[in-house]
Amino acid sequence: MSRNRLIASLILTAVMVVVIGFIVGFEALNATSTITVYQLTQSVTAGQPYQSNDVVAVNIHGSTGEFNYFQYDPAHAPGYVFKVPMQKGDLVQADNVAPPAQQLVQVAIQIKQSPNLSPGSLVNIYAVSTGSSATTSTSGTPIPILIGHNVTVLTGGGGGGTVTIAVAPKDESLWLEISTDSSVQLYATVTNGGGVPPQANAGGSSAAITQLNGETQTAGGSS
């Protein structure tokens, strides 16, 4: 091997050693770097205060900014509340809690009909107006209008009746106006938190029956 090749080989080996050492050191640093996050010691509901008796500090591998976990203990997050219902063992993320300026308000509404509801249920709420300004189908029957999507139930039972929900402060008066109008009936369906459902069929109940019948026949493989 010539002198020049030997020198080049030594330089290349030295560079590789440096690079490998850097990678190993970086991985070792990541393996030992931890952040403090907060884990629920019991289930909570939307609107419930973020308090020390609900969470415990735990360390996980990672670095600040790498995850979306909420990294403030209750003593340093006064006035924060949970925005969504959570289960025991969940790690609190930044978008699970809200500061005072973003907190939801509680509004009691009358639901005419719904599945069994419990605190923490997510519902879609529909309004059916029978007044002079009602939105009607081509057959003249009122159309259910979606007015609340993924709304959190705070209190309430099954079948209907008075239900307390969490809504944005800017919408509080709107919900009160609707709930005090005797010509408006509210219906709720339980949702899994998915996308906004399609609007009701403008053709009325007859058209809806025909459409559902067609979908049922298709799903059943009928011709």
182 to each of 41, 65, 129, 155, how far by Cα in Å? 43, 51, 9, 22
Does residue 88 surpass a pLDDT of 80?
yes
pLDDT, position 150: 84
124 shares a domain with 198: yes
121-141 pLDDT per residue, tens = 888 989 888 876 666 666 667
Domain-embedded: residue 16: no
Higher per-residue pLDDT: 95 or 1: 95
Q: Which domain holds residue 110?
A: 104-204
pTM value > 0.95: no
CA distance 77 to 94: 12
163 shares a domain with 114: yes
181 shares a domain with 116: yes
97 shares a domain with 152: no
pLDDT, position 118: 81
Asked if residue 69 lies in contact with residue 94, where contact means CB atoms within 8 angstroms, the answer is yes
CATH of the domain at 83: 3.90.1210.10
Nearest CA among 85, 120, 77, 83 for reference residue 98? 83
Q: Which residues contact 126 (CB under 8 A, 6 or more apart)?
A: 144, 145, 146, 147, 186, 187, 188, 189, 200
